[in-house]
Structure 1
Amino acid sequence: MDISVVIPLLNEEDSLTELHDWIAKVMQSNRYSYEILFIDDGSTDTSWEVIENLSQKNPNVKGIKFQKNYGKSQALNAGFKEVKGNVIITMDADLQDSPDEIPELYNLIVKDGYDLISGWKKKRYDSKIRKNIPSKLFNAAARKTSGLKLHDFNCGLKAYKKDVVKAVDVNGEMHRYIPVLAKNAGFNKIGEKVVEHQARKYGVTKFGMDRFINGFLDLITIWFLSKFGKRPMHLFGLLGTLMLFIGFCFAFYLGIDKLFFNPTGRLITDRPQFYLALVTMIIGTQFFLAGFLGEIILRTKTDTKRYTISNQINL
């Protein structure tokens, strides 16, 4: 199979039929063998019924329905496990991503040998205050932290070599950082393509300002995991050693000063340096314990179920 199109969605009943028809037209005109995999992330409208109707008309349509809303990352994770195509295209269900981009994205993977191509919505139709400005700040921080020179990490329109989606584990809210996850997994040929961004035609956006706060927190998480995820003791042990060293220096200074220079002076416990020594040594010990616990968890962790699927179509 040439292409798998993975579409996570939440309450997009109005746009699904039009999006399906548009994708099918592009696939047929380019003679691609394909599948369209819709992942219903706990919709409360008639989105699943629409998907069922589309699957009856087009056997290439497949679907996964979550028991409740688990988030975009879990939806993509479920979709990536099921895809069969050599090239995987992800896009949003709100018609803001154009299926007409698919042939160029496909060629960049197949002919130019890229592992991953990330879309760049250079011209956006979103609110500047609500999305554009926060997105620029978020992407600048992501570039600085990850070392990937991408303009739009959070663009839903991306193309992947099949090996990439089978290798990365998208969890939590890490869908924003799939290029970083791919890089950490050893896929280094990552590119970018300017894509068309269309104004929302139906419904309202499902994302608020809180996603940017969560995005920055996730950025810190993925930086830590990429640097120290396999060796947490290297970070916490270093910090613990530093704090213990500072504490012992204060304690050594107080001991020498009391024994040789000020034996009849005030008590050690009356001096602020004593409390600095005590606090830094306690913090250092806690860092060491955090490192040990991290190593133990890393070696004993087991995979846990992150979502529940209530229904499937053609899978």
Structure 2
Amino acid sequence: MSKVDISVVIPFYNEDESLAELHAWIKKVMDENAFSYEVLLIDDGSRDESWNIVKKLKETNPEVRGFKFSKNNGKTAALQVGFNECVGEVVITMDADLQDSPDEIPGLYKMIKEEKYDIVSGWKQKRYDPITKTLPTKLFNATTRYISDIYLHDFNCGLKAYDSKVVKNITIYGEMHRYIPVIAKWNGFSKIGEKVVQHRSRKYGTTKFGLERFLNGFLDLLSITFINKFGKRPMHFFGLFGVISFFLGSFMTIFLIAEKIISIYNRQPYRNVTDNPLFYLALVAIIIGSQLFLAGFLGELFVKQGVSKDDYFVSEKV
């Protein structure tokens, strides 16, 4: 497929009420601004009529491209498929629930093409979500800012714009769609901007946000932080703590044995080394140190062999 100005990547799950309206809105914006474009609709295993609506849109709108998962893989998987398939010079991601406004697309496009940003993240300065969603989001954003040293107000905003070279050179998995700016920065795409965007109240359906997604997000943040720092050199992490633990345990063992030898030499009362609880702590430290060192060694072997990308099975395309 030939290059276009903009690829709009929209992952969705059970959004049959909003898809046609969202597409019509995107089409209106694109036509008004004379953009060449494509709309990639990725069905994350919906159980309603969403996929049938995508197929109907495709029949009359050649810019529509649909991808359907055979099961629910999550938003990250859907975005990764969209990134792999898109051909736009600028890639826009947005949610399918009509809370993201397509009217923001021209401004986002301008920041990428004219101001030369690698990524522009939307900031929903005024939100219409319940406090059960906004409060965890604030905590999440504050933690991510501290760890990543990227000052964005809303890392998890679905409305973002990317230079195509960014999405073609990063890989996301798990629940890491929240951390695409972080992953991009660690891959050398450091010009990251922010744009205040309109946030609309949900018109159809219910939110897919749950507490487990919030907890998983923090675990993924720890994961990508570790991978960035030690993913190519795991021995530097495991080996360091392994050596410290091993030598600490060895030192305690030598100390206990030396203490007994000195007591015997001076003909003083002594107890067996194995009667001292410190001996067992030393033994545990030696064992843990050896295991950590071995984990670092195995990690180095895996890194050398290379890590394959996650594959997601797309059961249908239109």
**What range is the shorter-chain TM-score in?**
over 0.9
Correspondent of 1:199 among 201, 216, 226: 201
> 2:12 — aligned with what?
9
Corresponding letter in the other structure for 1:191: G
Comparing 294-303 and 118-127, the one that deviates more: 294-303
Partner of 1:284: 289
CA distance in 2, matches of 1:15, 1:162: 27
Counterpart amino acid of 1:307?
A: Y
Q: 1:107 to 1:221 in 2, by over 3 A?
A: same
Q: How many residues align?
A: 312
- Distance across 1 between alignment mates of 2:247 and 2:26: 62
SS of residue in 2 equivalent to 1:145:
helix
Which residue of 1 is the match for residue 251 of structure 2? 249
1:135 is aligned to 137
Note the C-alpha offset of 1:214.
0.2
**Cα shift readout 1:186-219 (whole Å, capped 9, x = no counterpart):** 1010111111111111001112111110001001
Secondary structure of the 2:168 match is: helix
- What SS does structure 1 have at the residue aligned with 2:88? coil
Query: 1:91-118: per-residue Cα shift (whole Å, max 9, x none)?
Result: 0000011111101100000000000011
In the alignment, residue 99 of structure 2 is paired with which amino acid? Q
CA deviations on 1:263-307 (whole Å, 9 max, x unpaired) are 641111111210111111111111111111111222224525531
**1:202 and 1:106 mapped to 2: Cα distance?**
27
Residue 122 of structure 1: aligned partner: 125
Pairing of 1:1-315 with structure 2 (within 5 A): 1-128=4-131, 130-261=132-263, 264-301=269-306, 303=308, 305-313=310-318
SS at match of 2:161: strand
Task: Give runs of ≥4 in structure 1 deviating > 6 Å.
Answer: none
Please state whether the residue corresponding to 2:35 is helix, strand or coil: coil
SS at match of 1:20: helix
Judge conservation of contact 2:248–2:282 (CA < 8 Å) in 1.
yes
Percent of counterpart pairs with the same letter? 58
Deviations 1:8-43 (A, max 9, x none): 000000000110011111101111111010000111
Aligned AA (1:278):
L
Structure 1: state its 5+ residue gaps.
none
In structure 2, do the counterparts of structure 1 residues 145 and 39 end up closer, same or farther at CA, with 3 Å as the change threshold?
same
Question: Matches of 1:131 and 1:256 in 2, distance apart?
Answer: 60
What is the identity, as a one-letter code, of the residue corresponding to 1:14?
E
Query: For the aligned residues, what is the CA RMSD?
Result: 1.2
Which segment drifts farther, 140-149 or 230-239? 140-149
Q: Distance in 1 between matches of 2:174 and 2:81?
A: 13
Matched residue type, 2:189 = F
Whole-Å separation in 1 of the counterparts to 2:199 and 2:250: 59
The gaps in structure 2 that reach 5 residues or longer are none
What is the identity, as a one-letter code, of the residue corresponding to 1:269?
T
Moved more, 256-265 or 155-164: 256-265
8 A Cα contact 2:171 2:309, kept in partner:
no
Query: Which amino acid is the alignment partner of residue 272 of structure 1?
Result: P
TM-score, with structure 1 as normaliser: 0.96
2: CA distance, partners of 1:297 / 1:10: 35
Deviates more, 1:167-176 or 1:291-300: 291-300
